[in-house]
Structure 1
Amino acid sequence: MFDHTSQVDDRETWPAVWKGWRQKCPNCGSGPLMKGYLNVRRSCPVCKQELFHHRADDGPAYLTILIVGHIMAPLLHIVFVQFRPEPLILFTIFAIGCVALSLYLLPRLKGAMIGFQWARYMHGFAKPG
């Protein structure tokens, strides 16, 4: 049976995902992953790891919607049932909350997805040699 853990060039998934979440290069963990809000650098300025192969596409947006919906919908229900605020106040608070949470999560989830792809050798992040 093939033991993939004995290979020298195996990449650990969770550290790479965590580095991506922090918007750092999944290889070295110190170079910036993004230039701007959502634009991924072509390569890491520190370790020269190529990053342009990533295929995050719409995945981070779908995950953001999923997470924000699962957090805000129960909160909306709880606040409405417990406190019965005025509709305009309720809308304003939850609209701002949804936008703020979405803007916070989107680049981090994109970085995490790129870190995952890098760790699993997906979409051009090929094994060396």
Structure 2
Amino acid sequence: PISGIKHDEMVLIKNIHFFSMCEHHLLPFFGRANIAYIPSDGKIVGISDLAKALEVLAKRPQIQERLTKELADLIVANLKPKGAMVVIDAEHLCMSMRGVKKPGARIVTSAVRGIFRTRESTRLEMLELIKKELL
């Protein structure tokens, strides 16, 4: 956490590109992660720390569902926020190249913790923010 700075509203990092390897088929999957948390006691973390956490988890052979869950759980364990939410949207080459051969099909997973789970308006705010292009 960054000391000396207090913030008690949602922090959202959008469109973090990542690459990983499907542990079932040993083929890549890649996409974008959206990570949000609401600080507890005003404690925030450096924004690149969340991208680094995603990178570390994605480097090992993975399945997207576990990657999403592990990232949310890591945020909760280390930051102890009021809530955390992770949404990952990815394309799996195992779907594009083999089997059903459906290039462009995307898998979306989410992990919802704390206030994002218990307060629908907070969850919907995050989902609206990831849909918008604000710049």
Shared topology, TM-score over 0.5? Answer: no
Higher relative contact order (CA 8 A, sep 6+): 1
Give the structure with the larger strand fraction.
Answer: 2
Give the structure with the larger helix fraction.
Answer: 1
Give the shorter-chain TM-score range.
under 0.3
Q: Larger C-alpha radius of gyration, 1 or 2?
A: 1
**TM-score, structure 1 normalization:** 0.28
**TM-score, structure 2 normalization:** 0.27
